[in-house]
Amino acid sequence: MNFTENIIPISHLKANASKVVDDAYLNNQTYVITQNGYAKMVLIGIKEYDRMLKEISSISGLKNKKILEKKLLKMQKNSKNVK
């Protein structure tokens, strides 16, 4: 993802909100919105947002699964040592 292509000041967003929103949604564009020369927010379309949430959820689920597997293995080892 190349953020340098769509860096726009908030004044541009205010003047062209409909066009920017349409571009983000229809063309899957990401915009970095600046205020006083500093990046303040990112604007993405809902489809990209949903895709990102699903990817994060998948990664998080894999991480949690690995943590649970490690805990289960540790519990199994501990239960063998108790007998």
Please name each of the domains of the chain with its CATH number.
Answer: 3-44 (3.40.1620)
What is the predicted pLDDT for the residue at 55?
Answer: 83
Q: What is the pTM of this model?
A: 0.66
Query: Looking at residue 33, what is its pLDDT?
Result: 97
The pLDDT-based confidence of 51 (bands split at 50, 70, 90) is: confident
How far are the Cα atoms of 33, 56, 58, 66, 78 from residue 22, in angstroms, in the given order?
15, 25, 28, 40, 58
2-10 average pLDDT score: 83
Q: What pLDDT does residue 82 have?
A: 52
Torsion of CA 18, 23, 25, 29, to 10 degrees: -140
Select the more confidently predicted residue: 63 or 33.
33
Residue with tokens 């004044």, as numbered in its chain: 11
Q: What's the pLDDT score for residue 83?
A: 45
